[in-house]
Amino acid sequence: MERSFVMIKPDGVQRGLIGEIISRFERKGLKMLAARFECLPEDRVAAQYNEHLEKPFFPGLKTYIMSGPVFLMVWEGKNAVGIIRSLVGATNPVEAVPGTIRGDFAVDIGRNVIHASDSPASGEREIAIHFGSDDLVAYSGIAESMLY
Ligand code: RTP
Ligand code: MG
């Protein structure tokens, strides 16, 4: 079973897309293990995006991510990382196909609504940045026993 870290970025929160995005993941059959609504401090933005610290777009990315509250989540499921990346769509909304979250709701790479872990290892790393092990709630969902 894989776990993915998902963050609805400030533009997604401001546009009222939290419910829409959660609904898509629930209908797919994924299970939420944790969630928190907050404004991210600078150190966790840097840790989250450590692979991009030296990129030219990082200062703008940091300003964007810290411009308002974000909605942080942990999702679990069979192949959850790849499935969530396909539900999210391509990084650049120009390439994100309709039916994906970015394909349906975004027009600009610098305002692309949502983050999702790009590998199972990234998922575990990113979860540990934002959540403690006590924050992850263990339970069995009906959907799980029906699906797997
Ligand atoms: P994310 O990490 O946010 O889920 O997005 P991603 O994997 O699809 O894309 P990634 O390459 O990790 O880039 C992280 C975020 O940085 C912003 N970005 N801006 N202006 C640019 O060229 C540029 N490139 C990336 C985007 O907000 C992207 O989601
Ligand atoms: Mg990324």
For the chain, the structural domain boundaries read: 2-142
Could you tell me if the CB of 122 is within 6 A of ligand 1? Answer: no
Which amino acid residue places its CA nearest to atom 3 of ligand 1?
115
- Ramachandran region of residue 113, left (φ > 0), alpha (ψ -120 to 50) or beta? left
Helix (H) or strand (E) holding 81: helix 80-88
Q: Is 102 annotated as a binding residue?
A: yes
| Strand ranges in the chain using DSSP code E only, listed in sequence order | 2-8, 31-38, 70-77, 114-116
* DSSP label at residue 44: H
The CATH code that applies to domain 2-142 is: 3.30.70.141
Q: What is the pTM of this model?
A: 0.95
pLDDT digits (tens, 9 = 90+) for 135-148: 999 898 766 666 66
User: Which residues have CB less than 5 Å away from ligand 2 (the ion)?
Assistant: 118
Which ranges of the chain have pLDDT less than 70? 142-148
